[in-house]
Amino acid sequence: KAGVTQTPRYLIKTRGQQVTLSCSPISGHRSVSWYQQTPGQGLQFLFEYFSETQRNKGNFPGRFSGRQFSNSRSEMNVSTLELGDSALYLCASSFGTIFPGELFFGEGSRLTVL
């Protein structure tokens, strides 16, 4: 059974650009959630999608957005990148009946903003 797949694994952007990250959940999982991990702030919850609807949201500015498709795949977008957006972005999937419950994480997308 394939795990959670995140693409790309590494990327470099410059300030002001935008970026889109992709997450393919484990087959059968309907919930996808996103997290930002930095040395200074640790792990922070961004948002969670279930059945193509944002069900839960963390405390991040509107530059951070996401969506979920009918096959449960999810994308996360960050617009107008800032240096502080440099981080490891983790995606997790779960069956979704209860959030967060048991989460299955991908290996992350490491974003560097120059």
Partner 1 sequence: AQSVTQLDSHVSVSEGTPVLLRCNYSSSYSPSLFWYVQHPNKGLQLLLKYTSAATLVKGINGFEAEFKKSETSFHLTKPSAHMSDAAEYFCVVILTGNQFYFGTGTSLTVIP
What is the binding site for partner 1 (CB under 8 A)? 4, 42-45, 56, 90, 92, 99-100, 102-108
Q: In the bound complex, what is the minimum distance in angstroms from residue 96's beta carbon to partner 1?
A: 12
Nearer to partner 1, 79 or 99 (CB): 99
Residues 41-60: b if buried by 16+ CB within 10 A, e if exposed = eeeebbbbbbeeeeeeeeee
Q: How many whole angstroms separate alpha carbon 61 and alpha carbon 81?
A: 12
Dmax (CA) for the chain in angstroms is 39
Q: How many whole angstroms separate alpha carbon 17 and alpha carbon 86?
A: 13
Task: Enumerate the β-bridge partners of residue 75.
Answer: 22, 67
Nearer to partner 1, 79 or 88 (CB): 88
Nearer to partner 1, 14 or 41 (CB): 41
Nearer to partner 1, 36 or 72 (CB): 36
Q: In the bound complex, what is the minimum distance in angstroms from residue 21's beta carbon to partner 1?
A: 13
Q: In the bound complex, what is the minimum distance in angstroms from residue 42's beta carbon to partner 1?
A: 5
